Amino acid sequence: MEKQLSSLDLYFLVKELRQLQGSKVDKVYQIGHDDFYLSFYTPGSGKSLLYISLPGMIMRTKRRFASGEEPPAFCVFLRKHLAGTTLQSVVQEGSERILTFVFEGKKGVRSLHVELFAKGNVVLTKEGDIIMGSLLSKRWSQREIRGGVKYELPASRDNPFTLPEKDFVRLLEDSGKDSLVKAIVLTMGTGSTYGEELCLRAGIVKDTPLTKLKTGDYAKVYAAFHGLLKDRTKPRAVFREGVLIDITPVKFKLYADLEEKLYPDFLTALAEHLSTVKADERLVQMNKEKDKVLAKMRKVIDLQQDNVGRLTANITENEKKARFIYEHYAEINQILEQTRKAVRELDPKAIKKKLKGHRILKDINQKDKTVTVEL
């Protein structure tokens, strides 16, 4: 199962993350390129870890993942500005998949913006939301992420969490989608599972075209949406035939007939899921890296074996030549003496004429200083 947090997941998650408010940042770790965790100390509770896995997962966990001995430059940067600060607030930016953690320390206020969409990003800003540094730098037509510029949210859209009913209805009607569930997913940023759950709670077939909705159907969807937001958090993992298929912050009618495992909070449920997935991913990555090393070693061995084969062949050939020279030493020595004499006394043309038809001496190359004989 693959899971990335939707805007509704974050809506429920933020409520639990706020339990960290008032905690001090002990240290920041970075694992690989996309995985981070912040170690907090909470008075009366001790240490806890906030785990961020880009592009779409964040949780609080008690499990410590091993990090490299030498932290990446961006990790060192975050440590410099966040270690020793106190977490003041955690907010979701509207209905965006962006969480902002506000810290305060001796150097002032620092905000950590965690973007959980596209490739994901982590951006640190100071007062005035001026970007101090980011994991990724990028530029769009109306937005730019780089040091020294003001951090701007993506182009604003209506926040369905706070819209009155008439604007909520307008949002769905203007979606341009051909079915209710698609309109919900697009405009609410819920993800397909939440879209289907809302249709089920509203008592409307999910594939109903917007043009076929009856009077009062939009009101039912609006009521179902806000009913979901007000649901008491009851996190659970959902299984089909023993296979994990989803983790939800509340009970879903969609999964009424499936096996469930309850958790005390959403963060714990996600942590258990992610720890298993990450362990599997790391095992796969380790095997890939091992295979790369083995392939490289095999290539080196193959090249060495080829070289051994060529050297063996050369040794055999040179041994034959050595035996031949030894067996015909007297003849070869006589030819060399005659050649030296001819080179001293005759010009190249005369030598070439004299060699024509010679039984043994076939060529004298004065430039290369070689003699070709045939015995």
The answer to whether residues 199 and 180 touch, using CB atoms and an 8 Å cutoff, is yes
Alpha helices in the chain (DSSP H): 7-17, 73-82, 165-173, 180-188, 192-202, 217-230, 266-327, 329-345, 348-355
235 prior amide bond cis, ω within 30: no
The answer to whether 71 and 65 are in contact (CB under 8 A) is no
Six token digits for residue 73:
């430059």
Please give the Cα distance from 273 to 293 (Å, whole number): 30
Cβ(161)–Cβ(228) below 8 Å:
no
Q: What angle do CA 240, 190, 186 make, to 5 degrees?
A: 125
- The structure's pTM equals 0.72
Would you write out the chain's pLDDT as a tens digit for each of its 375 residues?
567 899 999 999 999 999 999 999 999 999 889 989 899 999 888 888 888 989 988 887 766 655 556 889 999 999 999 999 999 999 999 999 999 999 999 999 999 999 999 999 999 999 999 999 999 999 988 899 999 999 999 987 789 999 999 999 999 999 999 999 999 999 888 889 999 999 999 999 999 999 999 889 999 999 999 999 999 999 999 999 999 999 999 999 999 999 999 999 998 888 877 654 554 454 445 446 556 666 777 787 778 888 888 888 888 888 887 887 777 778 777 777 777 777 777 776 776 666 655 666 667 776 777 777 766
Token pair listed for 74: 């961006």
Provide Rg for the chain, Cα atoms.
38
Angstrom distance (rounded) from CA 38 to CA 27: 6
Q: Quote the pLDDT of residue 193.
A: 93
Q: Is 29 helix (H, G, I), strand (E, B) or coil?
A: strand
Q: How many CB atoms lie within 10 A of CB 233?
A: 16
Measured distance CA(328)–CA(52) in Å, rounded: 81
Which ranges of 203-265 would DSSP assign to H, the alpha helix?
Answer: 217-230
* Domains of the chain as residue ranges with CATH: 7-154 (2.30.310.10), 165-263 (1.10.8), 328-373 (no CATH)
Beta carbons within 10 angstroms of residue 348's beta carbon: 11
User: In the prediction, which pLDDT does 264 show?
Assistant: 92
Q: How much is the pLDDT for 282?
A: 47
